[in-house]
Chain A
Amino acid sequence: MKTSPEELNRQAAEERLDRIIDLFNQERDPSKTLEIELHPGSEGEGKDLGLEDVAIVRILRSLRPQAEPSPGFGAKLAKLFTTEQTGKKAAPKKNPFRIGVFAACILLVFAFTFWNNLFKGDVVLAMEKAVQKLSSYHGIMEMTTENAQGEKWLVRQVEIWYQGDKYALRQNGETLTVNNGKQKWQVRERDKEVAILPLVPDYTKQGFALRDEALRAKQYPHTIVGQEQVAGREAHKLKISPPGGEPYYLWLDVATNLPLKLQTAMQNALQTTYTFVSFEANAEINPQIFTLKVPEGFKVIEEDPGQLVATVREAIHVSEITPLLPQEVPQGIYAFPKKIVLDYGETSIIETPASLPWEPAGFGAWGELNGQPVEIIRDRLRWQQEGLEITVEGPRSLELARQIAPDMILPDKDTDLSSQAQVKVPVDMEIVRNDQKQVDAGHTPWQLDPLYVSVTFVNLLVTPEGIVGEPKIPYEDFKIGKNTGKEAIVEVLSGPVSKVYLKRLVRQDESGIWTVVGYDQR
């Protein structure tokens, strides 16, 4: 059937509107790209309609937050006019001095570019070393949040004293949490109480956001983008770009290489900045802060602190479980009812009775021990062995886990699983990348779990009109067969699909979403 000119005009107008919306979504000026179509002098109704479309899209976009200007826009702007001014004054006379300045500028740009490439690794490495070498420090860290309208507010202020294996944190001038290596407690001003807390595992210690985030810089691509002042100190500004995610920024003290400030990407129209507003490296710390003193009128409460025992026999007596032990003797043994914690400094081994069924988290990678899965999430390994559930967490987790379970098989990230799929599923990378950003911003976290992704995929195959109520193929019928952390196979016990093949296409760590790339028919 021949298409009428009206129909063709309508299709063209629909297509143009679609492009206008896309350009706005990319924060681009639509008229620049559509200049030819919107240019005056051309005939036809569509031209005015195009402009009206642009106006309506603009009006509707007032329901969404403003986009921030491009990074460095302000600096570029200020520089542009000062350079123009210099240029105008310089034009009438050429002198050797100006040529020299020009050459120096080229040299500087050249040096800066190469310095970036040559030494970027060194700055991060130096930071890591500096953090490790730090014997003590005292600082005040502020956490501020800013919205898309530029409104900023202080969320939290934390004062930190740190010395060797001891630390004290005071939050918002109220709660003081102290770990002196022998005891951990929290003084809660508002409730007038002192809580004695378990010494290990110590999650507070792992939560010094700035330091932990700083160490992440190592695993993601990063570049030095400038030098700025942070709390009166000169700092390198590092741009860190997680694959498929929004970049964020980290500032490192030029003098000490220590991290001073971290700014997250704008997510859900909010951006968080952690800044050490004061920081003194290798500071002298008053030992009194690490001494437990119960203020007058405060009650003492114990939150299952466990007890430090001298021998394994004693630990068995208290916990009523018999632990599996590595060859290396722990620095300390803590016994709780039905739990034993072996302390190896920054690494801990926690043993509890095994709970059945054993279900490791799908978002981690899976290893294997005696046909049973071993859950691997960053530097934490968790598995079941001889009636116990064992968790080893910390930088030496693998080494200590192998001492307990020498037959443990770790997943090979390079194993190609998806090529075995009978039916290949085409993937739109634009959608995957946007989904990853959504998950990074805290939405649809189920995409981090290959089981949930498989349940959704298979049930949409069975009922393409959408899942209403309980899915036809229930969640219980899906089991993880293999998971290398990069690729996974999910086995399906009922329905038309027997296996689902998934990949982490954007980022291959626990924060990466899973995408179905193929399946086998039953």
Chain B
Amino acid sequence: MSKLRFQKWCTQTWPEIYRYSYYRVRNREEAEDVTQETFARVFSQESFKGCSSADLTAEFPSLNYLKVTALNIIRDRWRRRKARGNEVGLEEILLSEDEDLQRLLDKAVLEEILQKLTEDQQMVLRLRIIEGYSRAETARKMAKSEAAVRGLQYRAIQNLRVLFLESLKEGNESENQS
């Protein structure tokens, strides 16, 4: 396999894998690490190393294969860091292809769940996480102290955790009934 051909294939495919990884991990550094590890894993495979066919499609793995590899890498990374297996880990929402879990990533569904929080809690999550402001900026915009912002965002996340789990439970129950 020529260096040029590998570069060409890599250049064509990495943006898709980066986007796919970012969709799950939601930060640039991790998405880049996962993308790099995906190519490293594919690159180290015996079947891949040995091939010398002139046909590009036969020589390089498909995009779907790369995506599955990327997803497995994310799973492995997150599993390594997990203290113990608990019931439905919320990270499963980001990893699973299951529609019921994926539903929570839908903008409308997420907004609906956010609406159940108090106005201050919604505001602090919007400013800190969605808009990306620092704690100091958020405190200034909300006319609160930084300590109050820290406490408020903590309570908001805790409440959101309960709401997510409830939503997942509701989804399971309606599935069982049907």
Partners in one complex: yes
Measuring CB to CB, which residues of chain A are less than 8 angstroms from any residue of chain B? Answer: 10, 13-15, 17-18, 21-25, 27-32, 35, 38-42, 47-48, 51-64, 66-70, 73-74, 77-82, 84-86, 149-150, 428, 430-431, 434, 465-466
Q: Which residues of B contact A62 (CB under 8 A)?
A: 23, 26, 105, 107, 110
A56 touches B164 (CB 8 A): yes
Sample of 10 more A-B contacts, CB < 8 Å, known A55-B93, A59-B110: A29-B33, A35-B81, A48-B83, A51-B82, A58-B27, A60-B110, A63-B107, A73-B14, A81-B40, A86-B3
Interface assignment of B67: CB less than 8 Å from any CB of chain A: no
Q: How far is the CB of A203 from chain B (nearest CB, A)?
A: 35
Q: Are A82 and B83 in contact (CB under 8 A)?
A: no
**Which residues of chain A are near B14, meaning CB under 8 Å?**
73-74, 77-78
Taking the nearest CB of chain A, how far is it from the CB of B88, in angstroms? 11
Judge whether B164 and A434 touch: CB under 8 Å. Answer: no
Pair B10/A29 contact, Cβ less than 8 Å: no
5 contacts between A and B (CB under 8 A): A24-B26, A28-B28, A60-B110, A61-B130, A465-B143
Give B146's nearest chain A residue, CB to CB. Answer: A18
**Which residues of chain B have C-beta atoms less than 8 A from A14's C-beta?**
150-151, 153-154
Q: Indicate with 1 or 0, residue by residue over B1-39, a CB within 8 angstroms of chain A CB atoms.
A: 001001100110011001100111111111111011001
User: Which chain B residue lies CB-closest to A16?
Assistant: B154
In the bound complex, residues from chain B placing their C-beta under 8 Å from that of A32 are: 29
- B: residues with CB less than 8 A from A are 3, 6-7, 10-11, 14-15, 18-19, 22-33, 35-36, 39-40, 43, 77-78, 80-84, 86, 89-91, 93-94, 104-105, 107, 110-111, 125, 128-137, 140, 143, 150-151, 153-154, 157, 160-161, 164
Which chain A positions have C-beta within 8 A of B110? 59-60, 62-63
When distances are taken between beta carbons in the complex, the residues of chain A under 8 Å from B131 are: 64
Specify which chain A residues have a CB less than 8 angstroms from the CB of B40 in the assembled complex.
81
Tell whether, in the assembled complex, residue A60 and residue B28 are in contact, meaning their CB atoms are under 8 Å apart: no
**CA of A149 to CA of B16 in the docked complex: distance in angstroms?**
11
Docked CA distance A69–B28 (Å): 6
Q: Are A15 and B150 in contact (CB under 8 A)?
A: yes
Q: Which of B25, B43, B111, B140 is within 8 Å of A81, CB to CB?
A: B43
Q: How far is the CA of A32 from the CA of B89 in the complex (A)?
A: 20
Contact A25 B39 (CB under 8 A): no
- Chain A residues whose C-beta falls within 8 Å of the C-beta of B23 in the assembled complex: 62, 66
Q: Is B82 within 8 A of A77, CB to CB?
A: no
Q: Interface of chain A, helix or strand or loop or mixed?
A: helix
Docked pose: A39 CA to B84 CA in angstroms: 11
Q: How far is the CA of A85 from the CA of B81 in the complex (A)?
A: 31
Which 6 pairs show the lowest CB-CB distances between chains A and B?
Answer: A27-B28, A55-B90, A29-B30, A61-B26, A78-B10, A55-B91
Most buried by B among A10, A23, A25, A48: A25
> Measured between alpha carbons, how far is A54 from B26 in the docked complex, in Å?
10
A84 touching B43, Cβ below 8 Å: yes
Contact indicator A17/B157 (Cβ below 8 Å):
yes
Q: Contacts of B30 on A, CB cut-off 8 Å?
A: 29, 31
A13: chain B residues within 8 A (beta carbon): 154
On whether the beta carbons of A56 and B6 are closer than 8 Å, the reply is no
Residues A64 and B130 in contact in the complex (CB < 8 Å), given A24-B26, A59-B90, A84-B43? yes
Are A21 and B26 in contact (CB-based, < 8 A)? Answer: no
What is the CA–CA distance of A79 and B40 in the complex, to the nearest angstrom?
12
Instruction: Tell me if B28 and A57 are in contact (CB < 8 A).
Output: no
Q: With a 10 A CB-CB cut-off, give which of A10, A17, A48, A58 has the most chain B CB atoms.
A: A58
Which residue among A21, A61, A68 has the maximum number of chain B CB atoms within 10 Å of its CB?
A21
Contacts of B129 in A (CB 8 A): 21, 24-25, 57, 60-61, 64
Q: A14-B151, A25-B132 are in contact. Are A60 and B29 (CB under 8 A)?
A: no
Q: With a CB–CB cut-off of 8 A, which chain A residues contact B6?
A: 78, 81-82, 85
Instruction: Please report the C-alpha to C-alpha distance between residue A73 and residue B6 in the assembled complex, in whole angstroms.
Output: 16
Q: Is A27 a contact of B143 with CB atoms below 8 Å?
A: no
Of A51, A59, A149, A431, which is within 8 A of B94 by CB? A59
What B residues does A47 contact at CB under 8 A? 83
Closest B residue to A69 by beta carbon equals B18
Min CB–CB distance B112 → chain A (angstroms): 12
Separation of A18 and B124 alpha carbons in the complex (Å): 12
Asked whether A77 lies within 8 Å of B153 as measured between CB atoms, the reply is no
* CA of A198 to CA of B33, assembled, Å: 58
Q: Are A150 and B15 in contact (CB-based, < 8 A)?
A: yes
| Chain B residues near A39 (CB-CB < 8 A) | 81
Nearest residue, chain B, Cβ from A21: B128
| Contact residues in A for B135 (Cβ distance below 8 Å) | 18, 22
Asked if A24 contacts B27 (CB within 8 A), the reply is yes
Cβ-neighbour of B153 out of A21, A51, A52, A86 (below 8 A)? A21
Contacts of A78 in B (CB 8 A): 6-7, 10-11, 14
Q: With the chains together, A80 CA to B35 CA distance in Å? A: 12
Closest to A53 in B: B157
Closest A-chain residue to B104, C-beta based? A59
Distance between Cα atoms of A39 and B140 in the complex (Å): 34
Smallest CB separation, B109 vs chain A (Å): 11
State the Cβ distance, A247 to closest chain B Cβ, in Å: 16
A42 CB contact (under 8 Å) in B78, B83, B160:
B83
Chain B hits for A41, CB < 8 A: 83
* Given contacts A27-B28, A40-B82, A150-B19, A434 and B35 within 8 Å (CB-CB): no
Chain A residues near B11: list those with CB within 8 A: 74, 78
Contact B150 A80 (CB under 8 A): no
Question: Which residue of chain B has its CB nearest to the CB of A61?
Answer: B26
Which A residues touch B43, using CB under 8 A? 81, 84-85
